[in-house]
């Protein structure tokens, strides 16, 4: 009986660890939906395909970061440094990019909607972005 109980406990531990999502932590910031990391440095990281929906990355340094294909829906990126970042094919529905630094940011194929907020004077069409109206 003791061996069976030990085996059951071991199998449960294996299953729990296999089913738990991998959480990546960079500079104390857990990368995932609804993350709250203000003024964090995430420059030159590979966050491609990351789900950062509904996250707060206010005034964070994301310069040179690979965010291609990332889900940034309804993310607060106000005053963030996204210079030279790769946001190709990223989803930015409802994201707040007011006063963000987008110098040299690759936004080709990135999707946004009417709720997405951009820095004053930013030209989404010239950046190669795609407006999704649904």
Whichever domain contains 38, its CATH number is 2.160.20.80
Specify if 55 maps to a domain: yes
pLDDT top residue among 108 and 14: 108
Are the beta carbons of 92 and 74 closer than 8 angstroms? no
**pLDDT at res. 3:** 62
Interacting residues of 17 by C-beta distance below 8 A, sequence separation 6+:
none
Which range has the worst mean pLDDT, 19-28, 36-45, 101-110, 115-124? 19-28
Mean pLDDT across 13-19: 45
Total domains in the fold of the chain:
1
C-alpha torsion angle, residues 62, 67, 70, 74 (rounded to 10): 30
Q: What is the mean pLDDT of the chain?
A: 89
Are the beta carbons of 26 and 6 closer than 8 angstroms? no
The Cα 79–Cα 100 span in angstroms is 4
Specify if 1 maps to a domain: no
Specify if 9 maps to a domain: no
| Count of CB atoms situated within 10 Å of the CB of 97 | 24
Is pLDDT at 7 greater than 90 in this prediction?
A: no
| pTM of structure | 0.83
The residue range of the domain holding 97 is: 25-134
Specify if 8 maps to a domain: no
What percentage of residues in the chain have a pLDDT greater than 90?
82
**pLDDT at res. 70:** 98
**pLDDT at res. 23:** 77
Specify if 15 maps to a domain: no
Specify if 87 maps to a domain: yes
Specify if 2 maps to a domain: no
Summarize the chain as % helix, strand, coil (round to 5).
15, 20, 65
Specify if 14 maps to a domain: no
């Amino acid at each position: 009986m003791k061996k069976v109980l030990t085996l059951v406990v071991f199998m449960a531990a294996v299953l729990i660890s296999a089913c738990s999502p991998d959480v990546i932590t960079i500079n104390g910031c857990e990368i995932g939906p609804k993350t709250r990391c203000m003024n964090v440095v995430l420059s030159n990281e590979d966050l491609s395909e990351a789900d950062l929906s509904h996250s707060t990355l206010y005034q964070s340094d994301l310069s040179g970061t690979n965010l291609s294909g990332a889900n940034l829906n309804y993310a607060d990126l106000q005053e963030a440094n996204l210079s030279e970042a790769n946001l190709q094919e990223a989803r930015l529905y409802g994201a707040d990019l007011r006063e963000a630094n987008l110098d040299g940011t690759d936004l080709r194929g990135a999707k946004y909607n009417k709720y997405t907020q951009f820095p004053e004077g930013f030209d989404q069409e010239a950046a190669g972005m795609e407006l999704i109206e649904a």
